[in-house]
Amino acid sequence: MSSDAPSGSSRARPSDELRSIALDQFSSVGYAGTSLQQIADVAGYSKSSVLYHFASKEALLDAVLTPAIDELQRVMAIWLSARPSEQSRAAFVESFVGFLLRYRLEVHTFINQGAALEDVPVVARANALIARLSDAVSAADSSLETKLRFGIALGGAAYTLTAGLTYADSALQPDDELREALIRIVSELLSTVPPTR
């Protein structure tokens, strides 16, 4: 009976543990709804210790979201640099779905609170990326239905993965079946849209 089992989860550096706990809190009860005291309590630290590892609550949010935003930026850069074609779009859908699966909680956090946190640099960067995505989508062909299809496909996928965590109890584990079904549905939604990028 080991008192402190590594238990597979993160018994890593304190700052990593704090980041992980903060991510859980931010995505479930919101940034404004999360106090440094709560994070400290869950982590078993004092509030002062949290502020020792992260200069401020906003710095903690930045550290939490930055890896996801970086990856989103990477995924989009690849897509935007490719010639518009059905293949490049298929590749984008696949990597976008992969991004969603890997960073669900981060996506949930800045998607749901992007408006409230727009003056936080990392969130502003995320919002700019999404706005660019939206623009690129509805540039040449800007029919309302096209916009809606992209919005429902990408936003709906993002929403379902995260809000599904709330309503569907334990389902939606990140296995390959989920990934493939997502790619299939999203691709189908975009099938009527010409590859205008």
Helix, strand or coil, per DSSP, at residue 161: helix
Asked whether position 57 contacts DNA by CB under 7 A, the answer is: yes
Q: Which two tokens stand for residue 48?
A: 């002062």
Q: Which long-range contacts (CB under 8 A, 24 or more apart) does 175-181 make?
A: 178/101, 179/97, 179/98, 179/101
Site map (CB under 8 A) of its own copies, residues 25-54, x = contact: ---xxxxxx---------------------
CB 22 → DNA: shortest distance, Å? 11
Residue 121 interacting partner from DNA, its own copies, none (CB closer than 5 to 8 Å by kind): none
Q: Which two tokens stand for residue 42?
A: 């869950």
Task: Mark the segment that binds its own copies (CB under 8 A) among 47-55, 58-66, 72-80, 162-170.
Answer: 162-170
DSSP 83: P
Is 49 or 66 the residue whose CB approaches DNA more closely? Answer: 49
Nearest in space to 70 (alpha carbons), one of 6, 139, 135, 126: 126
Residue 77 interacting partner from DNA, its own copies, none (CB closer than 5 to 8 Å by kind): none
Q: Tokens 């960073």 identify what position?
A: 103
CB 143 → its own copies: shortest distance, Å? 9
Interface residue with its own copies, options 14, 84, 98, 114 (CB under 8 A): 114
Asked whether position 58 contacts DNA by CB under 7 A, the answer is: yes
Write the CB contacts of 184 (distance below 8 Å, at least 6 apart in sequence). Answer: none
Nearest in space to 153 (alpha carbons), one of 113, 111, 96, 101: 96
Asked whether position 48 contacts DNA by CB under 7 A, the answer is: yes
Point out which residues bind DNA (CB under 7 A).
14, 34-38, 44-49, 51-53, 55-58
